[in-house]
Amino acid sequence: MCGIVGYVGEQPALDVVLEGLRRLEYRGYDSAGVAVLDPSGGGALTVVRRAGKLANLEAALAGRDISGTLGIGHTRWATHGAPTDRNAHPHVDCTGAIAIVHNGTIENFAELREGLEMRGHELTSDTDTEAVAHLIEERYAGDLPAAVRSVCAELDGSFVLVVTHREQPDLVVGARRNLPLVVGIGDGENFLASDVTAFIAHTREARALDQDQVVELRRSGVRVTDLDGAEVEGETFHVDWDTAAAEKAGYDYFMLKEIQEQPAAVSETIGGRIGADGRLRLDELSISDEDVRGFEKVFIVACGSSYHSGLVGKYAIERWCRLSVEVEMGSEFRYRDPVLDRHTLVIAVSQSGETADTLEAVRHARQQRAWVMAITNTVGSSIARESDAVFYTRGGPEIAVASTKAVMTQLSAVYLVGLYLAQVRGTRDSDEVRSHFHDLATIPALITEVLSRMDGTRKLARDLSGEERVLFLGRHIGYPMALEGALKLKELAYVSAEGMPAGEIKHGPIALIDKGTPVVVLATRHALQPKLVTNIQEIRARGARTIVVATDGDESVTPYADHLIRLPDTKSLLSPMLTLVPLQVFAAEFAMARGLDVDQPRNLAKSVTVE
């Protein structure tokens, strides 16, 4: 969590840093702050920080003349210490010469802090970060990178640190362990940030730092070392989307824009996957056919909405490949010591590629010699780099905290991976694989059609927006989407929402249903749909207000639906890609009708890099 920016160049640093923070605010919005170094006149290091959203910091900066072409900035998701002004970053040392921003948690900070206080340092915040500023103060003898390296070696936990020193007008130093830090390589200027969105307005050439590396950023160039100070080579990559992709483009919220971008995002993800020989190609995976044939078991690990995509993947892989699949939350996986070996495929699904629980699951799986494949949207992310193979969804940047188009592209990805495994293992012949792929290729147009029908769903969401509890029911392939619909509503509208398998409700949850309780039932055509019609009757008999999502032309549900949301027909296994859309629209509209900010729901941050 937390967004970090560093800049050195010729432009006014405050503008560059604030622009970067605006793009990173989705990572945390408990407080924000900047430090700008002006080398003229002996060097002034100005630090301004404010609790609350970035707008509070911008208001505090308004009218102030802060010049300088070197700066760092931070937008915070609070861990140690309440979200107050004094806990906001940057933090400074006793002399005020060093300013530092930090993402992560320093686990041995209490002991470090105690030592510092005994040695006479005065710490003024409750954060773990401030201790690092004072430690650098102790180690600094004119060589800032050396001081940072020496301090990093003593820190336990996860961190990205970006540091500036008043005596170093052409130097920003960054360091990383377990969390993302990307260098933006410009011409006469260079950038550091938690992700590339912060600097793509200036450069699209980037380099991701590896574990325990320290970067020295100067106007003239970038040098990366390990913690011993040895220079290390690394690869740069080109970001193939531009600033327009990270703008709201006339929408009130990123989330609304990202929902509309879904047809294009799916087209990008599935495009170019059929080779001249008519076979499905996922070249980037570079797994040998022999390895694929050797898999005896699959685990899918993920968190939150990505976990729901994984649940859909289970249905697809089991159906097409006849391989047993378990889907597990990243936060649970490694703690129960699952049975893994070289014949186990572990698929880690993560939009950000940085979710701490999923990353730890990847590490655990690799230690146990399992074969790890990442499905992620983020090039160069930790999960991508630490996996044996990567399937990149090509969804473009997702800025809204609630995941929409990323989930949609993850669904495309799990279907493609399922078909690919089936093709290589020979459990489906090539004609059948091609036919399923062609069905998948029709989905972008069908999503466009669903999007064009959403007025009724929006109105319904506004009408129901005073409700405090909504249930979501599904069966079979509809069940993961019931979970997703409930999660979206919880996180955006702060109402109690539960997703359940419809067949289970008579074992307890049906007691929740009272006169007028809104229940969304995902009843598109599939094998269990007739049983679902019975479930709808059961809840309606107990007073539920039924909102039924059904396939065009299916009249079996009509008598039992208080509200109908119609979707075009598609193959039942692919139906989650259509069902998802009204659930997203419903949750967003419901929350907006309650006056809530759907891009930045309370207490959340997009990239959950703490356990």
Q: Give the active site residues.
A: 2, 606
DSSP 213-271: EEEEEETTEEEEEETTS-B-----EE--S-GGGGS-TT-SSHHHHHHHTHHHHHHHHHT
Q: Cα 517 from chain centroid? A: 32
Quick one: which of 45, 200, 402, 585 contacts ligand F6R (CB under 6 A)? 402
Measured from the CB atom, the residue of 268 and 398 that comes closer to ligand F6R is 398
One of 129, 158, 168, 355 touching ligand F6R (CB under 6 A): 355
Residue nearest to ligand F6R (CB): 304
> Of 531, 553, 559, whose CA–CA distance to 475 is shortest?
531
- Only one of the segments 139-147, 347-355, 517-525, 556-564 lies at the binding site for ligand F6R (rule: CB under 6 A); that segment is 347-355
Count of C-beta atoms within a 10 Å radius of residue 234: 15
The reply on whether position 608 binds ligand F6R by CB under 6 A is yes
The count of C-alpha atoms lying within 13 angstroms of the C-alpha of 44, restricted to the half-sphere facing its C-beta, is 9
Q: How far apart, in whole angstroms, are the C-alpha atoms of residue 17 and residue 71?
A: 7
Judged by CB under 6 A, does residue 306 bind ligand F6R? yes
Give kind and range of the element (H or E) at residue 54.
helix 54-61
Which residue, 380, 334, 340, 565, is CA-closest to 464? 565
- Find where tokens 């900047």 sit: 34
Q: How many residues contact ligand F6R, by CB under 6 A?
A: 15
Q: How far is the CB of 350 from ligand F6R (least distance, A)?
A: 3
Smallest separation (angstroms) from ligand F6R to the CB of 353: 7
Which of 207, 186, 211 shows the shortest CA–CA distance to 195? 207
Q: Does 393 bind ligand F6R (CB under 6 A)?
A: no
Residue 600 binds to ligand F6R (criterion: CB under 6 A): no
| Beta carbon of residue 103, minimum distance to ligand F6R (angstroms, whole number) | 15
Identify the residue among 69, 105, 352, 551 touching ligand F6R (CB under 6 A).
352
Near ligand F6R in 484-503, by CB under 6 A: 487, 491
Q: Which is nearer to ligand F6R, 88 or 489 (CB)?
A: 489
Q: Does 175 bind ligand F6R (CB under 6 A)?
A: no
Residue 328's SS3 state is strand
SS3 of 12, please? coil
Query: What mask of x and - would describe binding to ligand F6R in positions 448 to 487, judged by CB under 6 A?
Result: ---------------------------------------x
Least CB distance to ligand F6R at residue 491 (A): 6
HEC string of 521-564?
EEECCCCCHHHHHHHHHHHHHCCCEEEEEEECCCCCCHHHCCEE
**CA 210: distance to chain centroid?**
19
CB of 359 to ligand F6R, least distance (A): 9
Nearer to ligand F6R, 103 or 358 (CB): 358
Distance from first CA to last CA of the chain, Å, rounded? 11
396 is a contact residue toward ligand F6R (CB under 6 A) = no
Of residues 105, 125, 225, 351, which one binds ligand F6R by CB under 6 A?
A: 351
Binding site for ligand F6R (CB under 6 A): 303-306, 350-352, 355, 358, 402-403, 487, 491, 607-608
